[in-house]
Amino acid sequence: MNFKELCEQRYSVRSYKPEAIPQEKLDYIMECVRLAPSAVNKQPWHFTIYTNETDKQKIQQCYGREWIQEAPAYIVAYALTDEAWTRRYDEKNHADIDVTIAIEHLCLAAAEQGLGTCWVCNFRIQLFRELFELPENQNPIAIIPIGYPSQNVVPEKVRKEINEIWTIK
């Protein structure tokens, strides 16, 4: 599978089999995450893989859609804001950008391994912070449910036309 085929294959999976993720697949995916680039190579991230019911239920409280309950695991991507590079000209902290790149490594690596994922950012962030008692510098960027897709779906890619998104000057 070439990279374009992988991009076509990845889609937001919202229906999962209960089967656990094999450890070697998880190791492979997290190695791909580890190799992601970051500003000044600061790697200001931490990923926690939640498989226990107590934590999974807390996450479900923060994102009330039923479909997420099917996934055997959730990976939460945390930005460690005080470890990130900050651009001195405007004080822009790059933690979110860095973590976002690493998350997409995760999603693409998972798709290559036959696993489904879905970015979830529309969760109750304040409740999440309280339930997991997060320190101020640890910012949950996305919840990524992960598992085997329960259906064989040909992803429908609704996208802007190619000539709408780039120009040569």
Ligand X SMILES: Cc1cc2nc3c(=O)[nH]c(=O)nc-3n(C[C@H](O)[C@H](O)[C@H](O)COP(=O)(O)O)c2cc1C
Among 11, 16, 45, 74, binds ligand X (CB under 6 A): 11
Nearest CA among 35, 55, 31, 51 for reference residue 43: 35
Contact call for residue 7 and ligand X (CB under 6 A): no
Q: How far is CA 63 from CA 58, 119, 120, 132, 166, in A?
A: 9, 12, 8, 14, 35
Nearest distance from C-beta of residue 110 to ligand X, angstroms:
12
Question: Which region among 34-42, 48-56, 109-117, 119-127 touches ligand X (by CB under 6 A)?
Answer: 119-127
Nearer to ligand X, 108 or 118 (CB): 118
Edge-to-edge strands, sheet with 73-80:
45-50, 73-80, 138-147, 116-117
Q: How far is the CB of 128 from ligand X (least distance, A)?
A: 13
Q: Which residues contact 47 (CB under 8 A, 6 or more apart)?
A: 30, 33, 75, 76, 77, 78, 102, 106
State yes or no: residue 122 binds ligand X (CB under 6 A): yes
User: Greatest CA separation found in the chain?
Assistant: 54
Nearest distance in Å: CB 10, ligand X: 7
**Residue 47: both structure tokens together:** 């990923």
Applying CB under 6 A, among 1, 6, 121, 127 the residue interacting with ligand X is: 121
Shortest Å, Cβ 19 to ligand X? 21
Per CB under 6 A, does 85 bind ligand X?
no
- Binding residues with ligand X: total (CB under 6 A): 9
- For ligand X, the nearest residue by Cβ is 122
Q: Which is nearer to ligand X, 61 or 122 (CB)?
A: 122
CB 94 within 8 A of CB 85: yes
The footprint of ligand X (CB under 6 A) covers 11-12, 118-122, 155, 157
